[in-house]
């Protein structure tokens, strides 16, 4: 920011670059909508509002509303399966101007190199991409990640202007147990005065207070209005998530009122590109807020100003002198749709289309799928008991239950049971070629034949496969290794459909249109196959996450997340 240039234009000594006239300004600092406003811009920043300044260019917005562009408070670019540039091409025309990304997916795979990849590949985009340093690499000691990220590894990023703080602290049991390595990370960012994001589903009472006292100031895992209100009352910012699998916004609407609106943010967390294209991103969340009767100024504070305040994003989140000229113009509060999107005073998108496709370099990364040689025998589960623990996957939720039941057994080995929807599930370590394979059963996918699998498996991203028969499971594993990661549906020795994700086994090196086409093909295939789960790939990708209740599976076996301990597959 060249302050002298702003002062020159603000005092009228030189003309501004741009005047946006005849707009309805959503004034988040004054708490009103200003009719017939004029916003003056110089060098990418607002220098005046209704100050009678001259400009080299004047654009009549014809009565459109003008608000700050939207800020996504917590998301993972990797969950879109796109590079940062392709992600920006999808969300910028929707009115999103800034995202705060936690790259713990790619950092769990590639470590320091993954963090550097995200920073380098997100430069020069039409939206600002900030980062939180991943706090949980690995997420827990229950599985095998591709890297470890210690406090000493994080220190070099503290002075990067696009690194805002410490990412979601998922290992809340570790915080409460005073895990020394985790507290080293917390201390590093507390000392630097940086925000620390939380992740504490269902945590309340004294344990929540202790968690917050460690310096953790936000949470995006609230499932009920009561949980959100308690966390706000104890000092947290609550991020309301509307992702592809977990959709919390409607459940949390009762928590929003004039007293809490200044502590609430919006986030997408994990959102697939087809949902971004078809439903939208934060614009969809904003439409839900406005339709539910939330005061429009409060709704835009939640979507724009509050995240800027929590993260300390400089000069962002409002339309006022000294703030960035990042705007979204739209026609109606009743149906928010971005008409024009400005970045630093330049029009970058109009009528839902980006005016110029972003170009960003994509640095090369090493091959990250390193599986020890497999054989069909690796996918046999010996019957070592009468009753087994079975993961109960629930549609549109990352929380699972536990079913205790007798699996189907033939010849001393367990088989999948499509009648009861008990499928065999495997997690194969894919970073170090250790040969670790976690074996179990899952209910709730509804697969009738073949096998589905992927290398997207939060947070360590080992290979995860569920299937009806061993031949299909074996074929899926071999194919994922061949394509350097991604998603696959195999039936016997046939690959019915795949989506290669060669960048860390998480992201495509192709355009968004290709990824969306393949995802739609998967959705159509699953519909024809009669799967009961509407998002089986997304559901499967969270079955290896041992920080979200209740029963999960890693390359080392089953984990009882409630007890925060490994458990046997067999009950007896």
pLDDT for 139 equals 78
Residue 193 token pair = 């005065």
pLDDT for 538 equals 85
* CA distances for 33 relative to 27, 365, 431, 545, angstroms: 6, 48, 53, 44
CATH code of 186's domain: 3.20.20.140
Residues 399 and 539 in one domain: yes
Cβ-based neighbour number of residue 421 at 10 Å: 21
| CA distance between the termini of the chain | 67
Residue 455 token pair = 């290398």
The last residue of a domain, from among 270, 292, 314 = 314
Residues 220 and 80 in one domain: yes
**Residue pLDDT, tens place only, 317-345:** 999 999 999 999 999 999 999 999 999 99
Does residue 346 lie within any of the structural domains? no
Q: Over 90: is that where the pLDDT of 141 sits? A: no
Half-sphere exposure of 361 (CA within 13 A, CB side): 7
What does the alpha-carbon distance between residue 272 and residue 79 come to, in Å, rounded to a whole number?
Answer: 6
Residues 453 and 535 in one domain: yes
The last residue of a domain, from among 314, 339, 367 = 314
Does residue 12 lie within any of the structural domains? no
What would the mean pLDDT of 535-563 be, rounded to a whole number? Answer: 92
Nearest to 481 by CA among 500, 466, 494: 500
Residues 289 and 393 in one domain: no
Does residue 108 lie within any of the structural domains? yes
8 Å CB contact between 391 and 440:
yes
Nearest to 478 by CA among 372, 557, 554: 372
Does residue 507 lie within any of the structural domains? yes
What does the alpha-carbon distance between residue 502 and residue 309 come to, in Å, rounded to a whole number?
Answer: 37
Cβ-based neighbour number of residue 359 at 10 Å: 8
Does residue 411 lie within any of the structural domains? yes
Nearest to 532 by CA among 395, 399, 405: 395
Residues 310 and 414 in one domain: no
8 Å CB contact between 274 and 523:
yes
Residues 190 and 307 in one domain: yes
Nearest to 247 by CA among 277, 267, 231: 267
Does residue 371 lie within any of the structural domains? no
Residues 282 and 384 in one domain: no
Does residue 273 lie within any of the structural domains? yes
Residues 303 and 435 in one domain: no
**Widest distance between CA atoms in the chain:** 89
Q: How many domains does the chain have?
A: 2
Q: Over 90: is that where the pLDDT of 548 sits? A: no
Residues 158 and 259 in one domain: yes
What is the extent of the structural domain holding 187?
69-314
**Residue pLDDT, tens place only, 443-493:** 999 999 999 999 999 889 999 999 999 999 999 999 999 999 999 999 999
pLDDT for 359 equals 77
Residues 294 and 414 in one domain: no
**Residue pLDDT, tens place only, 372-420:** 888 989 999 999 999 999 999 987 678 899 999 999 999 999 999 999 9
Q: Over 80: is that where the pLDDT of 170 sits? A: yes
What would the mean pLDDT of 293-302 be, rounded to a whole number? Answer: 98
Residues 423 and 531 in one domain: yes
Nearest to 164 by CA among 136, 187, 192: 192
The last residue of a domain, from among 314, 335, 355 = 314
Does residue 23 lie within any of the structural domains? no
Q: Over 80: is that where the pLDDT of 361 sits? A: no
Residues 175 and 310 in one domain: yes
């Amino acid at each position: 920011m060249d302050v002298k240039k702003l002062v020159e234009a603000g005092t009228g000594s030189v003309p501004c670059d741009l005047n946006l006239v005849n707009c309805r300004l959503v004034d988040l600092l004054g708490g009103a909508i200003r009719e017939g406003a004029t916003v003056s811009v110089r060098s990418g920043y607002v220098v005046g509002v209704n100050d009678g300044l001259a400009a080299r260019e004047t654009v009549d917005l014809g009565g459109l509303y003008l608000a700050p562009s939207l800020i996504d408070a917590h998301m993972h670019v990797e969950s879109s399966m796109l590079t940062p540039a392709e992600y920006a091409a999808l969300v910028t025309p929707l009115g999103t101007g800034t995202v705060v990304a936690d790259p713990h997916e790619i950092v769990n795979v590639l470590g320091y190199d993954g963090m550097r990849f995200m920073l380098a590949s997100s430069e020069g985009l039409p939206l600002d991409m900030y980062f939180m340093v991943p706090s949980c690499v690995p997420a827990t000691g229950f599985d095998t990640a591709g890297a470890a990220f210690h406090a000493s590894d994080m220190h070099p990023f503290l002075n990067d202007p696009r690194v805002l703080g410490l990412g979601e602290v998922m290992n809340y049991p570790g915080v409460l147990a005073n895990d020394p390595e985790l507290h080293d990370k917390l201390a590093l960012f507390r000392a630097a005065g940086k925000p620390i994001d939380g992740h504490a589903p269902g945590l309340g009472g004294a344990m929540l207070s202790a968690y917050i006292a460690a310096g953790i100031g936000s949470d995006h895992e609230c499932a009920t209005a009561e949980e959100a209100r308690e966390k706000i009352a104890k000092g947290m910012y609550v991020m309301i998530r509307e992702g592809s699998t977990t959709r919390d916004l409607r459940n949390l609407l009762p928590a929003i009122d004039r007293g809490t609106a200044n502590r609430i943010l919006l986030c997408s967390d994990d959102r697939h590109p087809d949902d971004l294209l078809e439903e939208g991103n934060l614009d969809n969340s904003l439409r839900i807020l406005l339709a539910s009767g939330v005061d429009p100024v409060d709704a835009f504070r939640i979507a724009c100003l509050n995240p800027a305040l929590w993260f300390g994003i400089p000069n962002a989140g409002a339309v006022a002198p000294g703030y960035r000229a990042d705007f979204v113009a739209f026609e109606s509060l009743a149906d928010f749709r971005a008409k024009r999107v400005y970045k630093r005073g330049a029009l970058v998108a109009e009528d839902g289309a980006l005016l110029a496709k972003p170009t960003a370099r994509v640095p090369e990364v090493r091959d990250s799928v390193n599986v020890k040689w497999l054989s069909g025998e690796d996918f046999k589960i010996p019957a070592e008991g009468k009753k087994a623990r079975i993961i109960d996957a629930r549609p549109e939720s990352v929380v699972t239950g536990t079913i205790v039941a007798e699996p189907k057994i033939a010849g001393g080995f367990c088989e999948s049971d499509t009648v009861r929807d008990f499928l065999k599930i495997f997690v194969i370590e894919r970073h170090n070629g250790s040969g670790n394979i976690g074996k179990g059963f899952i209910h709730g996918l509804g697969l009738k034949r073949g096998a589905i699998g992927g290398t997207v498996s939060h947070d360590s991203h080992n290979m995860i496969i569920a299937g009806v028969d061993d031949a299909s499971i074996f074929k899926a594993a071999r194919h994922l290794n061949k394509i350097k990661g991604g998603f696959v549906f195999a039936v016997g020795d046939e690959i019915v459909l795949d989506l290669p994700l060669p960048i860390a086994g998480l992201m495509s090196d192709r355009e968004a249109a290709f990824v969306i086409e393949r995802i739609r093909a998967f959705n159509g295939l699953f519909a024809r196959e009669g799967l009961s789960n509407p998002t089986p790939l997304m559901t499967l990708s969270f079955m290896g996450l041992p920080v979200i209740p209740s029963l999960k599976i890693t390359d080392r076996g089953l984990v009882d997340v409630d007890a925060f301990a490994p458990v046997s597959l067999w009950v007896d």
